[in-house]
Structure 1
């Protein structure tokens, strides 16, 4: 699994760390087995999480001088990053040189950037912090829509539960997809939202396919949702029979290619509804639906709400969240 066979994972923490960013990945790795996960603070003393809970710490970052497999840097409320990121940067930079891979959760990407580990790389962070991150670190390319992004030995993830998606991906990489799937099932979470999938996704129930042909099929639809993705066209593009393609989709996803395409088109429509004021007919056309009514029926099947209702709820949720996010710094 690792370069040294120990599966050592260090989680670098400081006061104010977001509890979910620590608990989610740690729970996944613990349940997977094969990892030794330890928390480390700058001075080896306990830290207090953002919700007021005290977290015991195993090690001091300043005195840690051993090689580890994975270094995880969780996130912090944005108003605390100006203090936390510079304080952790030196220790994280030093530890990163001794780690096989370095992982950030949520705004932990700010710490990695402060440490100079992200220059010239593509990363992601919590959607609310992406604009600020891009302004502060122009030498880093930010993908505001991804759940997690891998660039060489650096893996960054979005906020909150995205840390769980990322940890499951790491387990799949280290111990195999069967182990990751078992952990996901035990934790009653989906395995796994593809890393490039929208942070606001209705398609999280579908696992990343292990089959290369299916990955190509997904790429075809994502690249052009409004294109011709009928079974006959897709099978010809992939150079396989319609029967075999249908069998692959049913085996991997439990649905027909047509239903799969419908779900990806719903997700494309979600992004358009969230990001602008385009009229419903325009959204339907750009997303590959033959009419607004066809899109409405697809939304009802996949999400349980109509497109207009989805747009309204999304904006209402943002309006309600804004004061809370400002108070809590996220």
Structure 2
């Protein structure tokens, strides 16, 4: 079956919010060698839409009934898109008949302004989470997730996360093998699940202006099964233990012990989604035993790792 998929664009929208998901769906057609997706870029007036970087994309005037509808995010043109009465009426008309609808990045504001996110848990770009929650109190904003699926509503955090969400949509339609094939074709480092935080411990450290520890953290991620105590880390970084503890905590905002636990639990979530046993995961991430993994995981995420694995592992992988 061919899925009719619309991406709503507007002047000033983020180019990658349109072309990132579009490239994924186009690649899906190539991967299975038949038109799984009838992809259309649509806009209020049709014709050329000038994106935020000045690149124009061709669009068709809004109309018709999509199976899946996504709204691109943007900055300069976002307010106009939210206030466009024709866009609002069209969204309110077609979304009840869609199988899925959602947004990339700040496209959530357009849907929320049409009342289509009330009572839903959603994601948007980290810099806009507070603004979305304040302006639309009936919407539950998840400030952490890369993308969120709440019923038939799919929303993603921003820019590249639209690719992650599009891959998840392809997986839902065509299976994990096709989605993984596309990810390999795009030379992605990894397929990121929706529950992953917008800011990984590594990215948080790299984003800190005074963080001199990116190389050390990269090494830590590759050696989670080792003893990563302060003496070991200080020696590897070339500091005294006291100096390392102070500088690392200042740079990352977390003590070395808390930071190491964050790395280990992030890695554990990824391995759980692959259906691996708790004992094997505990050994790989340096948490020693499945009991210790369970205690740390439940303390951090509020659920047992076995339940998380049941919820997120592919059926063919779960063990």
What band does the TM-score fall into relative to the shorter chain? 0.5 to 0.7
SS of aligned partner of 1:118: coil
Alignment of 1:190-209 (within 5 A): 190-201=189-200
SS of aligned partner of 2:99: strand
SS of aligned partner of 2:2: coil
Mind listing any 5+ residue stretches in structure 2 that lack a counterpart?
30-35, 204-221, 229-247, 265-284, 286-319
Deviation at 1:275, TM superposition (A): 11
SS of aligned partner of 2:69: strand
Deviation at 1:287, TM superposition (A): 4.4
Give the 3 Å change call, closer, same or farther, for CA 31–199 of structure 1 in structure 2. Answer: same
Deviation at 1:276, TM superposition (A): 8.1
- 2-side partners of 1:276 and 1:203: how far apart? 9
- Residue 83 (structure 2) pairs with residue 86 (structure 1): yes
Alignment of 1:31-70 (within 5 A): 31-33=27-29, 34-57=36-59, 59-61=60-62, 64-65=63-64, 67-70=65-68
- Residues 81-129 of structure 1 deviation map (CA, whole Å, 9 limit, x = unaligned): 2222121322222221221100200000001101111101100100010
Alignment of 1:173-322 (within 5 A): 173-201=172-200, 259=225, 277-278=253-254, 280-281=255-256, 283-284=258-259, 287=262
- The alignment of Structure 1 onto Structure 2 pairs a total of residues equal to 219
On the 8 A contact 1:122/1:142 being kept in 2, the answer is yes
Counterpart pick for 1:20 among 4, 16, 19 = 16
Give the 3 Å change call, closer, same or farther, for CA 93–274 of structure 1 in structure 2. Answer: farther
On the 8 A contact 2:147/2:157 being kept in 1, the answer is yes
Mind listing any 5+ residue stretches in structure 1 that lack a counterpart?
205-254, 263-271, 290-297, 299-330
On the 8 A contact 1:168/1:180 being kept in 2, the answer is yes
Give the 3 Å change call, closer, same or farther, for CA 197–287 of structure 1 in structure 2. Answer: closer
- 2-side partners of 1:39 and 1:95: how far apart? 15
Give the 3 Å change call, closer, same or farther, for CA 76–277 of structure 1 in structure 2. Answer: same
Give the 3 Å change call, closer, same or farther, for CA 17–281 of structure 1 in structure 2. Answer: closer
CA-atom RMSD, angstroms? 3.0
- 2-side partners of 1:201 and 1:156: how far apart? 19
Give the 3 Å change call, closer, same or farther, for CA 288–203 of structure 1 in structure 2. Answer: closer
Deviation at 1:6, TM superposition (A): 2.3
Q: Which residue of 2 aligns with 1:140?
A: 139
On the 8 A contact 1:169/1:192 being kept in 2, the answer is no
On the 8 A contact 2:13/2:78 being kept in 1, the answer is no
